[in-house]
Amino acid sequence: MDLELDGKRVLVTGASKGIGLAIVRAFRAEGAEVVAVSRKTTAELEATGATFVSADLADPAAPRQMVETVLEMEPRLDVLVNNVGGGDTSGEVLSDPFGGGADAWAGVFALNLGAAVETTRAALPALTRSRGAVVNISSQNARDPRNAPLSYSAAKAALNAFSRGLAEQVAASGVRVNVVTPSGTRTPMLTAEDGFGADLAARRGIDQDALLAMVPQQAGMVTGTLIDPAEIARAVLLLASPTMASAVGSNWVVDGGALKTP
Q: Is 152 a catalytic residue?
A: yes
| Burial status of residue 102 (CB atoms within 10 A of its CB: 0-12, 13-18, 19 or more) | exposed
Rounded Cα distance between 215 and 213, Å, is 6
Rounded-to-10 torsion of CA 43, 212, 88, 118 = 60
Rounded Cα distance between 138 and 132, Å, is 20
CA proximity to 211, closest of 147, 164, 259: 147
Q: Which of 27, 52, 152, 252 is catalytic?
A: 152
The rounded Cα 44 to chain-centroid distance in angstroms is 18
Q: Which residues are catalytic?
A: 152
